[in-house]
Amino acid sequence: MTAPRPVPNARVILLGRVVLDHRFWIERFPPAAHRTRAADYQEAVGGPAAVAALTVARMDGQAVFVGRRGDDPAGDRAAALLGSQGVDTRHLLVVPGARTPVAAVLIDPRGERFIFPYPGAELPDATDWIPVGELDRVQAVLVDTRWLAGAAVLTRAARAKGVPVVVDLDTDSAEAWALAADATHAIADEDLSVRCGGVDAVLDRLARTRTWGAVTLGANGVAYAGGRRPAFPVSARDSTGAGDVFHGAFALAVAQGRGEDDALRIASAAAALRCQTGRVPARTEVEALLAEAFPGPRGG
């Protein structure tokens, strides 16, 4: 079974939302009293594309993040957390007077999360600053649907240059589906499939646009045109951002020139480790889990 041996210098641009998460581990939800002590707390990066960028960097890829934030302490902290893991934040636009998205995340003993997001304010939709010139030096692009105007610009520019584009599809709108139709790969989540008639309906819709598609199903694995791949069985500490980690690992695998089956295997392992440890996994951790699950000769 092939292990995730990175192609040197695989580089991915990731465009979308960055959020500063405040995560609290609690004993029960909803709480029984007005004041309930949390068992643990963590400040972390949230947002689909931002967590995917952390994943690319942690798995030894080169991650270039493109997004917007306010000139406030939350934005400073989110940028610092991204940069501390090696993510290139030169194209994280600082908007004077704007407020950075933040979220309170409550995590119960099963690892299930309850998210209370504040979307930020005064983050403009202008796209003329998006660094399309970076596309000459990358092997893949990932965009989320939290900033559709920017995602559309980068996706069209990437496809014109023949660069593969992975869309994190979690929005049911005409603009989001048009974005998926322009991409090479679109990975939807289970919530979207429920809103859109089921997993098969989502896969069929993507297939009609000739976009390779998949739907992540949490503990039930991932569905795609070739069938279903089961999730790696782990005890969950925190499932927050597991889908974002999945997308980031998948995009890096695409950038490395891997096929979709191999990319799904790697992404599933990375997402499982995120749930188990509460951290974005490193490449060596993903390799170890794959080697344990699929013992035998390791190839490149």
CATH number at residue 216: 3.40.1190.20
Query: Is residue 295, in this structure, part of any structural domain at all?
Result: no
Domain total of the chain: 1
The pLDDT of residue 252 is above 60: yes
Predicted pLDDT of residue 131: 97
Express each pLDDT in 272-290 by its tens digit: 999 999 899 999 999 999 9
Give me the amino acid identity at 282: A
CB of 77 closer than 8 Å to CB of 22: no
- pTM here is 0.93
pLDDT tens figures, 71-111: 999 999 999 999 999 999 999 999 999 999 999 999 998 88
C-alpha 267/C-alpha 248 separation (Å) is 8
Domain with 271, as residue range(s), is: 11-29+38-278
Residue 103 is assigned to a structural domain of this protein: yes
CA–CA separation, 150 and 254 (whole Å):
21
pLDDT above 90: residue 256: yes
Residue 138 lies in a domain: yes
pLDDT band at 125 (very low <50, low <70, confident <90, very high): very high
